[in-house]
Structure 1
Amino acid sequence: FLRALRNLASFRRPGGDFGAWVTTIARNLVINWQQSHQRRERPVAELRDAAPVDQAPSPEAAAVNALTRVALLAGIEQLNPAQQQCITLRYLRELSIEETAQALGKTPAAIKALQYKALRALRGLLPVTAVMPA
């Protein structure tokens, strides 16, 4: 409601529905929050670990997981050294952008760009496979 109050002057639609305008603001804020707090990508270290103790995966799932781990680790090894360091610090050690920037002697903006490029390169290195549910 504070956002709507701050931008009240911009609400000048003839016949516009004030409730719909406020709802749109709230919806956009929720979407922004969800995108910024989306589930974190699993660190590569977790991919090396076995399946959860409480649930044994099916043989098919175990095979897919093993192949995924191997492909992901092989892909990381193909990145340039700066990208490898960035991915290692961000996803294996789970450091924040700021902590990674400090460790690598770069700015947070440079780390964001390096991480983006590393993930994009990694995406291109990984094989595209589709697993159809049974």
Structure 2
Amino acid sequence: MTIIAQRKPVEPDAEDLSRAIASWQLVERHRAGDREAFAEIYKRYRIIVWRFIYLRCSHVPTVEDLVQDVFVNALRRLDKYEWQGRDLGAWLVTIARNRLSDHYKSGRYRLEVAGGDLLDADRVDDSREGQPESALDQMVNASMLSILGQLSPEQRECLELRFLRGYSVSETAAVMGKNDGSVKALQYRAVRAMARLGAESGLLTEDMLG
């Protein structure tokens, strides 16, 4: 008989729980008729939603439209929102993900893949063509892309959010549906894996990434 181990749910730490409670209080204020509550929700979470969408669709006018759609959708559904033990930002990111999926399926716009700016490094800069430094840079960039490609999708997303997009640990946690502690652990494993792969390729030494 095969026994399948079940993953235990990740327990929120004190900081995560504090943010979840604070966001739930905003929901309760909104339900009680406080008109300022949703304005606070918008102010607090707009940048997280905006960054999440921009990471996948860098056409700014489209991003702005989609962000507005997300918050209009959230306003309509907020009365049915139930306590989940997580920051409200995770719920808003889920709405954003679904809205992006609908947007992509519509075929009206091209959805850019996450990490697109990394791929830009593979393009030749005509102004430096023929220079030894340019060729060396391209070789290094190609090697780094190869290393990133060997990480797990979850590790790549974590590094893209943290280091390419400048997300905080909390913002990354909201986007990825994790708590802060899980993101820190994932980031550590991803950096160590990247250092190991870089050392094997001769591009990095394991102490270069800390």
TM-score (structure 1 length as normaliser): 0.52
What secondary structure does 1:61 align onto?
Answer: helix
Q: How many residue pairs align between the two structures?
A: 87
Is the contact between residue 101 and residue 111 of structure 1 (CA under 8 Å) also seen in structure 2?
A: yes
Q: What is the match of residue 145 of structure 2?
A: 73
Provide Cα deviations, 1:21-69, integer angstroms capped at 9, x if missing partner: xxxxxxxxxxxxxxxxxxxxxx9936834799xx959823212211111
Give ranges in structure 1 of 5+ residues lacking alignment.
1-42
Provide Cα deviations, 1:3-33, integer angstroms capped at 9, x if missing partner: xxxxxxxxxxxxxxxxxxxxxxxxxxxxxxx
Structure 1's 82 and 111: CA in aligned 2 closer, same or farther, altered over 3 A? same
Alignment-mate amino acid for residue 92 of structure 1 = L
Structure 1's 47 and 118: CA in aligned 2 closer, same or farther, altered over 3 A? same
Q: Is 1:128 matched up with 2:202?
A: yes
Alignment-mate amino acid for residue 73 of structure 1 = L
Is the contact between residue 143 and residue 203 of structure 2 (CA under 8 Å) also seen in structure 1?
A: no
Q: Is 1:118 matched up with 2:187?
A: no
Give ranges in structure 2 of 5+ residues lacking alignment.
1-114, 205-210
- Structure (1 or 2) with the larger CA radius of gyration: 1
Q: What is the match of residue 179 of structure 2?
A: 107
1:92 Cα deviation from its structure 2 partner = 2.7
What is the rounded CA distance, in whole Å, between the counterparts of 1:68 and 1:47 in structure 2?
A: 13
Is the contact between residue 44 and residue 91 of structure 1 (CA under 8 Å) also seen in structure 2?
A: no
What secondary structure does 1:121 align onto?
Answer: helix
What percentage of aligned pairs have identical amino acids? 31
TM-score (structure 2 length as normaliser): 0.35
